[in-house]
Each structure stands twice: as C-alpha cells, then as structure tokens.
Amino acid sequence: MVPNLLHSSVDDCIFCKIVAGTIPCYKVYEDDQFMAFLDIKPLTKGHTLIIPKTHYQWTYDVPEFGHYFELAKNIAKVQIANLNCDFVSFLTVGRQVPHAHIHIIPRYQDDAHKEGIDATKRSSPTSEELLQIQKQLSQ
C-alpha cells in the first residue's frame, strides 16, 4: 500500500527542506527557480533529481514546464559528457515525495536495469563517492 502523500504540507516536504537548506544535499545545479541534486540512494551512478524551488505537487503544475525540462536535458548532457554513460532516462512519478521532481538517470550497459527501470535496484554510495560525482556534474 502506498502511503497517502497527496495532501502533505509544505512544512513536511523533504524537498522544501532541501531548498531551505535545513537538509543537506549534493547539489549539482541551482538557479532562481530550480535546484538539482544527487539521489543519495541512486538507481545508477549520477542519478539526479531536479525540482522547482517553489512547492508544486506535480511536474505538470510547474509554470515554467518547458524550461524545467530544458534544464533536465542540459543536466543529462553533462552526465553523458562527464560520467561516460550510454544514455539517460527521465522519470516522473510523484508519489514518493509530493513535490514535483524529475529523475535524471544515467544508463550504463551493465546497470542491472535492462530495458526499463527497476526501482528496487538502488545503491548506497559513500559520501566520498557522492562528492566525487557532484564535482563531475557541477556546472
């Protein structure tokens, strides 16, 4: 059973806390409207989340939808250039955290996800590994 996160308050939102700086992250991009940071339980090396700084529940609620996806594309190109991945998958689900977010997932020939994405195939990189990836992706 998926918990009902659909009406969670902004005060309870982990991504709003990351934007506010009360929860640390491995930030790879930030501007006035958006922030991107590494997933600490990544599906693959370099798995990044991009979020609007303003709390919107769904990706399609973000007013600057086109700009949002352009930024995701730009981050994907940095991943391809700096992580030597084969391609990048984009995923929007929205139920795990009720704050709009795009998963930008580098894909590797041997990444154990086969044709799709297996959400159970997560890793636990060390903080040193995350810092190294952060340096490779920071723009």
- Residue 13, strand partner residues: none
Residue 5 lies in a domain: no
- Give how many domains the chain has, as a whole number: 1
Residue 88 lies in a domain: yes
73-131 tens-digit pLDDT: 999 999 999 999 999 999 998 778 999 999 999 999 888 787 788 788 899 999 999 99
For the question of residue 113 being annotated catalytic, the response is: no
Q: Residue 114 belongs to a domain with what CATH number? A: 3.30.428.10
Cα distance between residue 5 and residue 28, in whole Å: 27
46-61 tens-digit pLDDT: 999 999 999 999 999 9
This model's pTM is above 0.85: yes
Cα-based angle 31, 83, 49 (whole degrees, multiple of 5): 40
The pLDDT of residue 116: 80
Say whether pLDDT at 5 is over 50.
Answer: no
Q: Which residue is catalytic, options 47, 99, 101, 103?
A: 101
The pLDDT of residue 1: 35
